[in-house]
Amino acid sequence: MKRRIRPKSGYTSFKIHNYHYELFAKEGNVASVNLQDAKGKTFAIAIFSPNYGTLPQQYEGSDGIFRVFYRRFGLADVIYMLRNEKPVYFHYWHPDGSNTNIATTSEPVGEGEQK
């Protein structure tokens, strides 16, 4: 098995090619968005928890999949970005995930979205 080497600090980045999201009926209004690479392999799960309480710490699981936590009110913004922007990237900040983000690249002002 090939071992991935992670930096001690800085970003590990992935281009998001595909995604799917789920809304859970029994989990206190929790939702998740699986972020996938070009081969359809999930590399990160964005978990949207209720808009109160303390969020868990971001982490990379033993399966190599990153888990990042957001407030539930941010779900619509992430779905909008995934539907309407291109390209979109996932950046995980090492060592503790504290500045992890989902982001676009620089775009010209007034470009509009191309279909």
Answer positive or negative: Cα dihedral of 104, 110, 113, 115: negative
Above 80 in pLDDT, residue 101?
Answer: yes
How much is the pLDDT for 2? 42
Lowest-pLDDT choice from 38-42, 57-61, 110-114? 110-114
How much is the pLDDT for 10? 78
Instruction: Give 12's Cβ-side CA count (13 Å radius).
Output: 18
Spatial neighbors of 92 by CB under 8 A, at least 6 apart, are 11, 12, 13, 44, 58, 60, 66, 68, 100
How much is the pLDDT for 3? 44
Q: What pTM does this model have?
A: 0.84
- Closest CA relative to residue 73, chosen from 51, 58, 47, 102: 51
Above 70 in pLDDT, residue 69?
Answer: yes
How much is the pLDDT for 114? 59
Residues 77-93 have pLDDT tens digits of: 999 999 999 999 999 98
Residue type, 49: S
Residue type, 74: G
How much is the pLDDT for 97? 75
Residue type, 10: G
